[in-house]
Structure 1
């Protein structure tokens, strides 16, 4: 009997640990900061919107959903291989669900829900923006900070990134990170706003990975 109880406890602990481990680390989030300014000697790289994207993943008790969001435009100002300033615009109308087949009616249903007033309200807020406020080396990692604005709410986030310049092309790829959507006033199914959801809640954490390709202007 004791062995059975121990096995059940061990299995529960393993599942709980595995579920918690599925989510990436939340980005450090604080109040909005002043935008960074580039020196006159900085080179401008314009974002190639066809080759740039944001991958997202959402979590709920019954599983996850994932997909992509497109970049509408943007630029990065670079000096001696280091980003000095920049910004990019996220096209919130471009939310795509990847884990449900495109011809499945549930794909359109979920996409419609995410773009509705319940979630990102893209009719009223068709774009989100990221504006660079600084970059620094922390324990050997490049940490890019910027003001992320969603639904007119702005918070400053810091995320680890890798950058590479190859001739006239620059790539920037973030490590996978999460943001707490409640800090951007995305309320639907959030325990941060509602206390009577039971197991019908949707996790506040949204997992993101940013991939940018930019060409010298």
Structure 2
């Protein structure tokens, strides 16, 4: 009888301790902004231009090792063109920062907040988020891949949704070879 009572007491003690464990908390991982990069590429009838813009801050949120959220802020004043040099580089960068395009004097930062994350493979996710550019917020959907402490995302953005209409064939007629396509690409490499 004592043996059975002792076994029952052990079962109760270990049973309670097994069920009383704390749930795993969500883990917030800060992005290393110095080692991370955001590259852009924009297209026009006669070619394309590309460059970078700096991350101001960024956080990825994981729950039990799976991506569940994220939030990022981009310094729009840091936008540079990497495919031109000298006078033309300066002119393009100035124009992109002007009110014709991103109006960085009034809107010095843009942001992205994840609103929905769904696993689409072992290390990949389909993410929907609220992207804010020039004070205008619109939903965007894109893919994110995570390997260890690195993440990569690619997205296509329709600039006209954010009131960036300069040179758009969707809004202006007879632009000919001066037409700038509405969509531009972003490739984001994160280290956290």
TM-score higher than 0.5: yes
- Alpha carbons 2:141, 2:155 under 8 Å: kept: no
Give me the CA root mean square deviation.
1.7
Q: Distance in 2 between matches of 1:161 and 1:44?
A: 17
- Equivalent of 2:175 in 183, 189, 197: 197
Q: How many residue pairs are counted as aligned between the two chains? A: 169
Aligned counterparts, 1:15-54, within 5 A = 41-54=25-38
Structure 1, unmatched stretches of 5+, are 1-38
Q: Distance in 2 between matches of 1:139 and 1:41?
A: 23
Q: Distance in 2 between matches of 1:173 and 1:138?
A: 14
Aligned counterparts, 1:64-103, within 5 A = 64-101=48-85
Mapped pair 1:162 → 2:145? yes
Q: Distance in 2 between matches of 1:100 and 1:94?
A: 16
Report which structure shows greater RCO (CA 8 Å, sep ≥6): 1
Aligned counterparts, 1:86-165, within 5 A = 86-101=70-85, 104-138=86-120, 141-165=124-148
Q: Deviations over 1:5-34 (max 9, x none)?
A: xxxxxxxxxxxxxxxxxxxxxxxxxxxxxx
Which structure's CA Rg is the greater one? 2
C-alpha displacement at 1:61, in angstroms?
1.2
C-alpha displacement at 1:164, in angstroms?
2.3
Mapped pair 1:206 → 2:188? no
Structure 2, unmatched stretches of 5+, are 1-22
Q: Distance in 2 between matches of 1:122 and 1:202?
A: 20
Report the TM-score, using the length of structure 1 for normalisation.
0.73
C-alpha displacement at 1:86, in angstroms?
2.1
C-alpha displacement at 1:208, in angstroms?
0.9
Report the TM-score, using the length of structure 2 for normalisation.
0.82
C-alpha displacement at 1:192, in angstroms?
2.1
C-alpha displacement at 1:83, in angstroms?
1.8
C-alpha displacement at 1:177, in angstroms?
3.1
C-alpha displacement at 1:183, in angstroms?
0.9
Q: Which residue of 1 aligns with 2:152?
A: 173
The secondary structure found in structure 2 opposite 1:203 is: strand
C-alpha displacement at 1:195, in angstroms?
2.1
The secondary structure found in structure 2 opposite 1:99 is: coil
